[in-house]
Chain A
């Protein structure tokens, strides 16, 4: 299968660096330097991955995200500056899958890219209730059973809802708002402020070491990422 990546950035040096990093994993790497060019190329070439820089000369990155999400679920990784949590959240809410903060190393960048590629491939295979193995942890969403080794771990209904949201979006960075929306749907107010405490509870039950989590990764100021593909 021919794999194609699209880099959207107005800095030629960054494009060159990203192109070199992506060259090993992709058959073809396309480049765009403006938002409108990015949307045109994405529509014509249907890339398997889009790397989107914020701060394009013609339009905000949010617009690119929203346009592409109208017809495609291609993974989008956002390149963002420091101190831009609210911008990252906006992009993630607009449909981006992950972000990476500048300056990053090519190794960090490629790790994120590979997670998204695996995620995209997995999404094509149906089976939301498939049994998942994480280290010595076995999660059976269909039967609503979690086991560590042979010992069953009891989860509350809210913790199950959280875990389902994580499993469904494994590898994707979920904003607090997205996570809240998928667990409590329409309700708001009190439960929302306790979201992070529910996550801490779930972590204590699933993670061997709750302060060195391997599965439920905190994205500071943004949300959480369930890292079963890392």
Chain B
């Protein structure tokens, strides 16, 4: 609330001048008719000016006008005239009452104005919040529609894709040259649809997760199985912590698998054929860390910032290598599971992408 400094309708100085002029006019009029007027009438006239100033310009101008009118009243209209002296002690009483009334009125008006302003502000706030709520609701509705649409598209695309793949496979067996391309592209389309759906779910915070106790090497094994068709997958080296106990974590297996597979695919895609990709599992700080290391070109400084944003393919990437959703999905998924994905340059060249997932303690089992 800043009513005390609020400039009124004309700004502080013009307002002061205007009301001073009004007080001067009132003084002149009262002075002209002073013979036929009682002092109380004069005080009331000045009070009107003070109240007007308070109401329109706020407390400060009001108080100033109260003091000014007090002086004008005293100087011009109370005998002895043209001095600040006062003859009758009763006239002191009139003047003092006038000053107090003016000041109190100015203060009361100020409070009332504050209350009005507060109420107005609250009303605006409520209106703004209501507007925001309507906006959020509209966004949610749009999100729901988008999700429903993507789910439908996803489902309705897969059935024809299955037919296309099967028909292409038949054609390939019969020796048609283009059939392999059809198969491959159908596969790519399927992946893209899956990625878009997943990304939309991550963005909406609607990734379905069922946390369970899982063995880390089960996850690594399943990820290696998923990428087994990619060049270099056979050569991937896996390093587990030494010891007989089974490193375990509490996470949704399917979603965690998606994150790890994306990192692994990314590494296999960017690694030169003679340099194997490594997966190293470590534990620490209540987390399992899956480090996926490659000897690829690494990430340029320019790409680092937006590495995990969707549709970023990296300036060094060449050829048609997917749509750049893999890392965004990996990180979004990991975060939905209470973990994260981070990037580090690898000593000696290349990248280390680390998937972090909540670890779990497992007692000795028999």
Binding site for B on A (CB under 8 A): 11, 13-14, 16-18, 20-21, 81-83, 85, 102-107, 156-158, 193-194, 196-201, 203-204, 210-213, 217-218, 220-221
Complex alpha-carbon distance, A105 and B166, angstroms: 6
Residues of B within 8 A of A102 (CB): 158-159, 161-162
Q: Is the pair A197, B159 in contact by a Cβ cutoff of 8 Å?
A: no
Interface presence of B355 (CB below 8 A) = no
Residues of A within 8 A of B186 (CB): 103
Residues of A within 8 A of B208 (CB): 83
Interface presence of B366 (CB below 8 A) = yes
Determine, out of B12-20, B221-229, B324-332, the stretch whose residues face the partner at the interface. B221-229
Complex alpha-carbon distance, A196 and B159, angstroms: 33
Give the residue among B183, B224, B240, B253 with the most A Cβ atoms within 10 A: B253
Contact A197/B246 with A158-B365, A211-B217, A212-B221 known, Cβ cut-off 8 Å: yes
Contact A17/B254 with A82-B158, A197-B215, A210-B217 known, Cβ cut-off 8 Å: no
Contact A196/B162 with A82-B194, A156-B366, A212-B221 known, Cβ cut-off 8 Å: no
Q: Is the pair A218, B158 in contact by a Cβ cutoff of 8 Å?
A: no
Q: Is the pair A21, B166 in contact by a Cβ cutoff of 8 Å?
A: yes
Residues of A within 8 A of B225 (CB): 212, 217-218
The total number of A-B Cβ pairs within 8 Å is 110
User: What is the chain B residue whose CB lies nearest that of A207?
Assistant: B221
Interface presence of B155 (CB below 8 A) = yes
Interface presence of B119 (CB below 8 A) = no
Q: Is the pair A81, B217 in contact by a Cβ cutoff of 8 Å?
A: no
User: What is the chain A residue whose CB lies nearest that of B228?
Assistant: A212
Q: Is the pair B365, A218 in contact by a Cβ cutoff of 8 Å?
A: no
Q: Is the pair A106, B170 in contact by a Cβ cutoff of 8 Å?
A: yes
Contact A213/B221 with A20-B170, A197-B213, A201-B365 known, Cβ cut-off 8 Å: yes
Complex alpha-carbon distance, A82 and B208, angstroms: 13
Residues of A within 8 A of B213 (CB): 193-194, 196-197
Pairs of residues from A and B, 7 with the lowest C-beta to C-beta distance, nearest first: A17-B166, A200-B215, A13-B163, A221-B254, A103-B162, A103-B161, A211-B221
Q: Is the pair B169, A106 in contact by a Cβ cutoff of 8 Å?
A: yes
| Partner pick for A81 among B158, B163, B240, CB 8 A cutoff | B158
User: What is the chain B residue whose CB lies nearest that of A193?
Assistant: B213
Residues of A within 8 A of B190 (CB): 103
A-B contact pairs, 11 of them (CB 8 A): A11-B163, A14-B163, A17-B162, A103-B190, A157-B366, A193-B212, A196-B214, A197-B246, A201-B365, A211-B221, A220-B253
Question: For window 68-110 of chain B, which residues contact chain A by CB distance below 8 Å?
Answer: none
